[in-house]
């Protein structure tokens, strides 16, 4: 797993005084159809999206994968991190800064994983300075599975079953290579975890873009029964359309597994639908 992929290069944005590090990749042809803001999950870094970048840029999309506030270059400035809502405000400021200096195409498409999906939902519910096309998230649900009620706050500490699922879902060498992606989870982020169901109920009605949510076959963090997922979708009352999908032969960290390409192709197909809307 390389630190850079698909022509991505290190990139830093000033988000209202907060430096956000990450990766930026442009299409080879130069014309940007849209910009995808890729938001990583808990205890990870922007390079979680390495395998997604070359596929997205080959189809004409720029990818901006940022280390969330409290990770990467902002960790020293924000040792406690920020709340999920605060992270969304910081990312919105970063998008405004980016759009002032670079073309974003038709708009920004939000792509989030796990806690990054929560931040993406907060971002979509925030009145920002750039046009949003849609939101695609994986590994983020509505109500926690009972197995996750006493989870640790990082990717270590016995959470391997929750975070990964069966090990044969991932290419050989994934776990050794993924050590380079890991980072401490900021305390404020961990402290908010159990409040997510209530937060989602408050923010979901304010999301006004198309939403697609994907749940891995071996997702263990969330309740995936039909009633719970139907309730989750029903709360997105202002979204033009909502799609809930399941991905076979995948664990929580979908983009690191064998199913990554299948998932990423579906993400980009959904983006095409958003561009035609």
In a domain, 131, yes or no: yes
Task: Tell me how far apart the alpha carbons of residues 137 and 147 are, in angstroms, rounded to a whole number.
Answer: 22
**Structural domain for 159, as ranges:** 9-276
**Sheet strands (E) in the chain:** 9-15, 18-25, 34-39, 61-66, 108-113, 132-138, 211-216, 242-247
Backbone φ and ψ for 182, nearest 5 degrees, come out as -80, 150
Q: Write out pLDDT tens, residues 246-265.
A: 999 999 999 999 999 999 99
The CATH number of the domain holding residue 258 is 3.40.50.1820
Tell me the CB-side half-sphere exposure of residue 262, using CA atoms within 13 A. 12
Q: Give the total number of structural domains in the chain.
A: 1
Closest of 120, 57, 91 to residue 99, by C-alpha: 91
* 175 vs 36: which has the higher pLDDT: 36
Is the pLDDT reported for residue 105 higher than 70? yes
Q: Write out pLDDT tens, residues 227-249.
A: 999 999 999 999 999 999 999 99
Task: Tell me how far apart the alpha carbons of residues 159 and 157 are, in angstroms, rounded to a whole number.
Answer: 6
The DSSP secondary-structure symbol of 76 reads T
In a domain, 35, yes or no: yes
Quick one: pLDDT at residue 156? 45
- Beta-bridge partner residues of 110: 37, 135
Q: Write out pLDDT tens, residues 162-186.
A: 888 898 999 999 988 888 889 999 9
pTM of the model: 0.94
| Residues 203 and 122 sit within 8 Å (Cβ to Cβ) | yes
Name the burial class of residue 252, with classes exposed (0-12), middle (13-18) and buried (19+) by CB atoms within 10 angstroms of its CB: buried
In a domain, 23, yes or no: yes
| Residues 164 and 142 sit within 8 Å (Cβ to Cβ) | no
The band of 154, judged by pLDDT with boundaries at 50, 70 and 90, is very low
In a domain, 191, yes or no: yes
In a domain, 261, yes or no: yes
In a domain, 3, yes or no: no
Q: Which residue has the tokens 């698909």?
A: 6
In a domain, 229, yes or no: yes
In a domain, 1, yes or no: no
| Residues 213 and 235 sit within 8 Å (Cβ to Cβ) | no
């Amino acid at each position: 797993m390389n630190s850079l992929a698909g022509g991505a290069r290190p990139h830093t944005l000033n988000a209202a005084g907060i430096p956000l590090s990450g990766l930026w990749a442009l299409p080879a042809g130069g014309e940007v159809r849209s910009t995808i803001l890729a938001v990583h999950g808990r205890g990870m870094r922007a390079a979680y999206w390495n395998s997604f970048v070359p596929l997205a840029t080959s189809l004409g999309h720029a990818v901006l994968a940022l280390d969330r506030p409290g990770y990467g270059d902002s960790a020293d400035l924000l040792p406690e991190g920020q709340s999920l809502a605060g992270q969304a405000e910081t990312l919105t400021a970063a998008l405004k800064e980016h759009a002032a200096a670079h073309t974003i195409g038709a708009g920004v498409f939000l792509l989030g994983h796990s806690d990054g999906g929560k931040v993406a939902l907060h971002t979509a519910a925030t009145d920002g300075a750039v046009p949003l096309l849609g939101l695609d998230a994986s590994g983020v649900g509505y109500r926690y599975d009972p197995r996750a009620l006493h989870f640790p706050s990082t990717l270590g500490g016995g959470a391997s079953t929750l975070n990964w699922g069966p090990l044969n879902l991932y290419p050989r060498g994934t776990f050794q290579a993924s050590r380079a992606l890991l980072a401490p989870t900021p305390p404020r982020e961990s402290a908010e975890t159990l409040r997510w169901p209530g937060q989602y109920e408050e923010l979901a009605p304010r999301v006004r873009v198309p939403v697609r949510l994907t749940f891995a076959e071996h997702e263990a963090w969330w309740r995936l029964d039909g009633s719970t997922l139907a309730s989750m979708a029903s709360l997105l009352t202002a979204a033009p359309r909502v799609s809930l999908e399941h991905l076979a032969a995948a664990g929580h960290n979908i983009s690191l597994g064998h199913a990554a390409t299948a998932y990423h192709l579906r993400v980009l197909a959904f983006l095409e639908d958003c561009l035609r809307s």
